[in-house]
Structure 1
Amino acid sequence: MNKQTGQLLEGAQADNVDHKVAPSLERRRLRAYAALLLVDALVLHLAFALAGLLYEGLWWYPRNMLAIQTMLPVFFTIALYNRTYGAKSLGDWMFASRQALTALLLSAALLNFVAFYTKSNAQFSRVSVTLGLILSGVAIVAVRRLMPIAINKFWGGRTQNSLIIKDGGPDFELDNSLSISADEFELDPTSHDPYMFDRLGKLLQNQDKVVISTPRERREEWAFLLKSAGVYGEIVSEPAHVLGTVGVHRYEQQGRTTLVVSTGPLGLRSRISKRLFDIVLAGGALVLLSPVFLYAALRIKLEDGGPILFVQQRVGRGNKFFNMLKFRSMKMGKNDAKGDRSTGREDDRITKVGGMIRRTSIDELPQLINVLRGDMSIVGPRPHALGSRANNKYFWEVDAQYWQRHCLKPGLTGLAQVRGHRGATEQEKDLTDRLQSDLEYISGWSLRRDLEIVFRTVFVLKHDNAF
């Protein structure tokens, strides 16, 4: 670890990084999606009501309203899956119109198909329903055309955060984007300094798109960093398979082509479902386990009168540092803040109560607070201290893919833990076994797998490798 580089986070350099951290626009977009859903529901109802008035002479014609109310759940289901309500739809009204019209036509076709086989076509007026669909299409396009006007007025035209990092490559600019110099922030893609990873992680925080302009010989290293950070990333470059390219994006106004080298492991719906899962489970566990919290706190305090909690800096999502909470299990003055020394059997630093809470995993319970804060997840790769080693090597020295495990939030438990890969990392295999499980979990994430891992964790809370 480069101590001098790490100190760059202090003083003016740290302030400089903090000033470049982008505000999160995700809540703003979620509010826009919710508003758009409600507006669509309203205009579709009004369109079919108007169609009934024009053709049948009846406002809110019952058969017309039955048709739209039957079709609406199907429309929303298709629309949510075809990105009708997505970030691109907020910034591109023509794309948004195409996706919404596609969802409308598919839902109408499905309604007609079901009505035909259930012999319920007679319940609907074909002319009136067709007129309602035409009016709905016009209304949907009108709403999408007005969206950019509203966004420009109330949000200054910004629906996404874009960051351009210039590292000696060709000139590249984007409207409404922030450009920084890699040299200014000491960003070196060939470095494995954790402080550099933390600095980069802070700069990429809340960014929806990151574009790197760099010479050919540094593109592969930048692609690795973007994948490790778990962000959508592009590199200004000619096609090159060694980068692990997942797509190509052309900017006609710039006359440039970028390679999409990373997209982040989870989409918006997956992130929302995982976060709701975390909040519900962590909140419920804090209430149910409050007697255990009180018991552990009293035992720790009564043993030596020292602090109840131990706060240690760990590596989190995007390789940024965060403060992880644990019940203190070591004697005062012997806490290992950087994790330079792994605990072992008969460790003289462990208190009496510390040995018990470590064997039963009770020492990890305060991390439920980290979950509610958003630093951690219930399930994910376990966070490690900066000084952690295997066979006297830092983890990233054993395998550079170590950084890629941080593209998701760290977890209270994980796939590696329920497979028995726990405790001290004395040999390199102790790390590589965990790393393989972590990367497998990231590549195949599902809410069902999270539930399965939580269930399996109950049976491995007490284990022999905890000391």
Structure 2
Amino acid sequence: MTSKKRGYSIFIKPIFLLVDLSILNILIFLLNIKSNPTLLFPIYISLSWILVSFVTRFYDTKRFEKVTQTLTSVIRQFLLFALVIYAFIGFFKQPDISRLGLAKYFSFSFLVITFFKYLLLFLLNKYRKNFGGNFRSVVVIGDNKKTNHLIKIFENRQEFGYKFQKKFCVRNDNFEIQKCFDYIVENEIDEIYCSIAELSNKQLRDVVNFTDNNLKVLKFIPDNKDIFTKKLVFNYYGYVPVLSFREIPLDDPINKFVKRSFDIVLALAVMVFILSWLTPLLFFLMQLESKGPVFFMQRRNGIDYGEFYCYKYRSMIPNTTGNQTIKGDDRVTKIGKFIRKTSIDELPQFINVLKGDMSVVGPRPHMVKHNEDFARKVDKFMVRHFVKPGISGLAQVSGFRGEIETDKDIVNRVKYDIFYIENWSLLLDIKIIFLTILNAIKGEEKAY
């Protein structure tokens, strides 16, 4: 049995925590926030920060974590921390501390800690890349597209801190699992990455036993080329291990609150500053071409497959059939062509957002009839209904909006939607909104 090599990695989280606690307490002094007794507020803030960070796992930062994931973690931490800060006045009866002062303290804390978190992560990445420190030696067992792609990441993304040592080809006639183990021990390898597809059950069992007995980190590369999901989650019910098929970030109450708050603020802004004057203007222009209502309502399926009425600006002559619009459709009016091309016809769906039927970003809702057809012939189609539908979505800004011309269109749309559901973040929503606006300005080929 060998002992696990820790190096200086165990000091990274404590250093990050000490930096944040120092910032929080220095800001108390700089902003002249005084409590009675004097040390009550600093002690309360320090203990609360530690407790909240434990709950949110704020310092469980992975070396391969994306910038957006880090920011989401910061936002989650500070949302809970805000509740703790404002509870201080009432709980400890501190009339000398103003709510405005706490808001100022909270804002500065958020900005400074976010800056230093990214700065420390940047310096740590530079340290790994330029000096070869804080690295982990790895080997890969298996030879296929996924293992080769992973090896390229190890070699090209040196800031992740992985040093690739060797690949073992299982399908090679000379392959012996014991030789892998001998190499791992002799070269003090830290982590082993195994392709599940290439190892037999016995070999997998041998690898698990070896890593357990030698304190090595074992990670599997799944063979899920026919499965859209990448989010298999392992949990324990008592002492029974249970594997969940996917984890949905929006099932988390904090994430759900953040997304809903963002939706409400944006929907109110659009309704006040855009719909308030655009609606009467479009109504006047529509009447010049064809008499009828300014809005068009259509039944669509939303979260949990529930039905709701989706609002749009009317772009066709009244009393048309509910068939999907095609290129050159003579039912579309002149003003309708313009608002479709620029996606203005979708703006009334901010009413649906405010009502809670939709979100600003999410899988686009289909008509009830189309949903029934797609659900029968497209695998994983129903997964889209785990979250609220959106005015725009990842599939739409990735080139899969408008008319479904081939089965490939809807299959790819579903893949992008499932990726969005499993990888949601507030920054991803903002990115999709930005791309949607950009596409609307440029005009889209399939917007007809």
TM-score w.r.t. the length of structure 1 is 0.47
